[in-house]
């Protein structure tokens, strides 16, 4: 069992055994719990018991996305506030988790207890062992029920003081009036020289021992939640779902299509549901893209999170969500608008509302199928072919709403500008260019205004500039393009003409 001890701290474990052997029976042993006596995170094990798993996973990931602890005062805010907020949210919204955990606690402890350390502490006697942990007292006490250490004292967090305990540190309690540890005679054991630095510095017999047990994934990490893989694995640390999918891509849908429609709540809800349904097919494609790269590419571009989540299952659950969101989006849409949409597609307006909804559902699911097929070809094609396939892949994505919603000249110009911007940036990357120098928003703005002028000449300037949608899109393009203009033309760090001329790669281009 001593093989559980990490080789780097094996001498510390030997020292602990010698100290316990020499002990005369008048000292106490203070022992950390998580990843020391218990080779897992007790708080995470409690959260893992929350059911239904999907709702628990959704709750925890929303908290992880919003990070409310980052807005609270103090240092090390994630350490101080993250677990208290998560546990409180689960206990309030899913209180039956307390009962579920009580039923499973014994099996959880049997699975994770430290088989090298626990027998040594059992020989010392539970009355002389003090478990000290930033975890929760009600969790730890339940885990050790029925074990030789059931009678051990527990110094841990309560529901009300968890954040304060973490902020003050363990030394404040171990050397307070209630406990009064003897730093010269008592023994302290922990796996963390960071979180327990204040205690290790006080005890003459303080042992920092790391254990080789691998840490488990976070609670419910294997439960599928839409866009989790996209946001955490494919684009980690970028806030991709909020910044790109919602604030950029859905904003395009709103400017290009929704501002051209009558103002009605059902249209916006429908558009958002269909947008999410369509975007889920791209999440399936992202997973496939990573796995194909991992298996077949010499130097695949994979995030560090990929290796942690490479067995994460997206299908068939993403398909279930896509179908459900499609039905919801179409059936929430106003009946009059549904009939107008199918009439624009060439169907008889007397077809009936239910048949019209069925046509739109079938059409949207067919578009999703087309997008998935193109993404499959993209993922399995040679790298240089992907440059060509990338264009129709995004053409389908950005123009799919045209099946349901009409648009104006300004909206069409913006969509083509977006596709040009996205495709060009990808082509530069695949050609070993520096895409960081590529002013994407500026290119989109330039392409938009160029097309707008062409549409004005062909269709008449009154048709193009006689709707307020045009001016809204113009303002949005300018606002998004200004940072690129400043960075490209006015910042000192922007590449000069001389620099580009001297660059062999630029000369070859």
Query: What is the predicted pLDDT for the residue at 498?
Result: 42
CA distance 345 to 340: 9
**Strand 205-208 with 187-190, pairing:** parallel
The residue ranges of every structural domain in the chain are: 2-208, 228-493
Which band of pLDDT confidence, cut at 50, 70 and 90, is reported for residue 501? very low
CA angle 215, 219, 220 (to 5 degrees): 125
- CA nearest to 471, candidates 404, 388, 411, 427: 411
- CA nearest to 133, candidates 141, 121, 124, 125: 141
CA distance 412 to 406: 10
Specify the CATH architecture of the domain 2-208: 3-Layer(aba) Sandwich (3.40)
- The model carries a pTM of 0.71
8-state DSSP, 425: H
Q: Which of the residue ranges 52-66, 93-107, 384-398 has the most confident prediction, judged by mean pLDDT? A: 93-107
Query: What 3 state SS string does 487-507 have?
Result: HHHHCCCCCCHHHHHHCHHHH
CA dihedral of residues 51, 284, 271, 367 (deg, nearest 10)? -140
Buried b (16+ CB within 10 A) or exposed e, 118-135: bebbeebebebbbbbbbb
Residue matched to tokens 């959880």: 108
Mean pLDDT for the stretch of residues 465-472: 82
Tally Cβ neighbours within 10 Å of residue 144: 24
Query: What is the predicted pLDDT for the residue at 505?
Result: 34
Query: What is the predicted pLDDT for the residue at 500?
Result: 39
Contact 167, 80 (CB under 8 A): yes
Query: What is the predicted pLDDT for the residue at 434?
Result: 63
Tally Cβ neighbours within 10 Å of residue 218: 17
Buried b (16+ CB within 10 A) or exposed e, 267-299: beebbbbbbbbbbbbbbbbbbbbbebbeeeeee
Query: What is the predicted pLDDT for the residue at 89?
Result: 96
Tell me: pLDDT of 1 over 70. Answer: no
DSSP string, 413-424: HHHHHHHHHHHH
Query: Residues 249-264: pLDDT tens digits?
Result: 999 999 989 988 888 8
Prior bond of 52 cis (ω within 30°): yes
Query: Residues 471-487: pLDDT tens digits?
Result: 888 888 888 888 877 77
Burial of 476 (0-12, 13-18, 19+ CB in 10 A): middle
Query: Residues 189-243: pLDDT tens digits?
Result: 999 888 898 899 899 899 999 888 656 667 888 889 898 888 888 888 777 888 8
Query: What is the predicted pLDDT for the residue at 496?
Result: 46
Mean pLDDT estimate for the chain = 86
Tell me: pLDDT of 507 over 70. Answer: no
Query: Residues 144-171: pLDDT tens digits?
Result: 999 999 999 999 999 989 999 999 889 8
Query: What 3 state SS string does 284-301 have?
Result: HHHHHHHHHHHHHCCCCC
Query: What is the predicted pLDDT for the residue at 503?
Result: 36
Q: What are the two backbone dihedrals, phi and then psi, of residue 190, each rounded to the nearest 5 degrees?
A: -150, 165
Backbone dihedral region for residue 93 (phi beyond 0: left; psi -120 to 50: alpha; all else: beta): alpha
Tell me: pLDDT of 365 over 90. Answer: yes
**Which residues does residue 154 pair with via DSSP β-bridges, in sequence order?**
131
Query: What is the predicted pLDDT for the residue at 499?
Result: 42
Percent of the chain with pLDDT over 70: 93
The half-sphere exposure of 332 on its side-chain side, counting CA atoms within 13 A, is: 17
DSSP string, 359-372: HHHHHHHHHHHHHH
Query: Residues 26-85: pLDDT tens digits?
Result: 789 999 999 999 999 999 999 999 999 999 999 998 898 788 998 988 888 999 999 999
Radius of gyration of the chain (CA): 30
Query: What is the predicted pLDDT for the residue at 364?
Result: 96
Distances (CA, A) of 445 to 249, 416, 418, 436, 488: 15, 11, 9, 18, 14
Query: What is the predicted pLDDT for the residue at 2?
Result: 57
CA distance 272 to 275: 5
Query: What is the predicted pLDDT for the residue at 49?
Result: 95
Q: Would you call 302 helix, strand, or coil by DSSP?
A: coil
Contact 136, 162 (CB under 8 A): yes
Tell me: pLDDT of 494 over 50. Answer: no
């Amino acid at each position: 069992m001593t093989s559980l001890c990490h080789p780097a701290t094996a001498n510390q474990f030997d020292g602990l055994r010698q100290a316990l052997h020499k002990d005369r029976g008048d000292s106490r042993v203070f022992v950390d719990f998580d990843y020391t006596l218990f080779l897992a995170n007790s708080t995470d094990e409690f959260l893992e018991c929350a059911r239904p798993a999907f709702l628990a996973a959704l709750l925890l990931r929303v908290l992880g996305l919003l990070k409310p602890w980052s807005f609270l005062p103090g240092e090390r805010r994630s350490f101080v506030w993250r677990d208290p907020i998560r546990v409180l949210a689960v206990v309030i919204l899913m209180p039956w988790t307390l009962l579920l955990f009580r039923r499973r606690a014994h099996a959880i402890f049997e699975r994770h207890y430290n088989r090298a350390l626990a027998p040594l502490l059992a020989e010392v006697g539970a009355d002389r062992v003090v478990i000290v942990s930033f975890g929760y007292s009600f969790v730890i006490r339940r885990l050790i029920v029925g074990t030789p250490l059931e009678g051990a004292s527990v110094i841990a967090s309560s529901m009300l003081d968890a954040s304060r305990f973490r902020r003050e540190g363990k030394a404040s309690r171990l050397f307070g009036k209630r406990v009064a540890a003897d730093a010269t005679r008592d023994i302290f054991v922990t796996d963390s020289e960071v979180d327990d630095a204040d205690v290790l510095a006080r005890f003459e017999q303080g042992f920092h021992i790391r254990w080789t047990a691998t840490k488990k994934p976070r609670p419910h990490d294997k439960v599928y939640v839409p866009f989790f893989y996209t946001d955490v694995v494919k684009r980690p640390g970028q806030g991709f779902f909020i910044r790109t999918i919602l604030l950029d891509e859905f904003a395009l849908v709103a400017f290009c299509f929704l501002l051209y429609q009558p103002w009605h709540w059902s249209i916006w809800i429908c558009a958002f549901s269909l947008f999410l349904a369509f975007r889920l097919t791209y999440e399936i494609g992202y997973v496939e893209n990573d796995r194909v790269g991992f298996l077949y590419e010499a130097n695949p571009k994979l995030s560090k999170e990929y290796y942690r989540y490479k067995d994460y299952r997206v299908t068939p659950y993403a398909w279930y969500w896509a179908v459900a969101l499609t039905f919801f989006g179409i059936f929430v849409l106003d009946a009059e608008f549904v009939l107008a949409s199918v009439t624009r597609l060439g169907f008889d307006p007397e077809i009936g509302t239910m048949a019209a909804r069925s046509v739109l559902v079938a059409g949207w699911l067919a578009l999703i199928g087309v997008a998935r097929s193109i993404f499959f070809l993209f993922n399995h094609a040679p790298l240089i072919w992907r440059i060509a396939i990338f264009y129709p892949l995004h053409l389908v994505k950005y123009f799919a709403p045209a099946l349901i919603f009409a648009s104006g000249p300004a909206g069409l110009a913006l969509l083509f500008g977006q596709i040009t911007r996205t495709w060009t940036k990808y082509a530069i990357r695949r050609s070993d260019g520096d895409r960081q120098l590529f002013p994407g928003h500026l290119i989109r703005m330039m392409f938009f205004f160029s097309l707008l002028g062409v549409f004005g000449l062909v269709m008449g300037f009154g048709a193009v500039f006689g709707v307020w949608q045009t001016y809204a899109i113009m303002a949005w393009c300018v606002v998004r393009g200004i940072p690129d203009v400043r960075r490209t033309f006015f910042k000192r760090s922007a590449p000069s003409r001389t620099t580009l001329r001297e660059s062999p790669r630029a000369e070859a281009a």
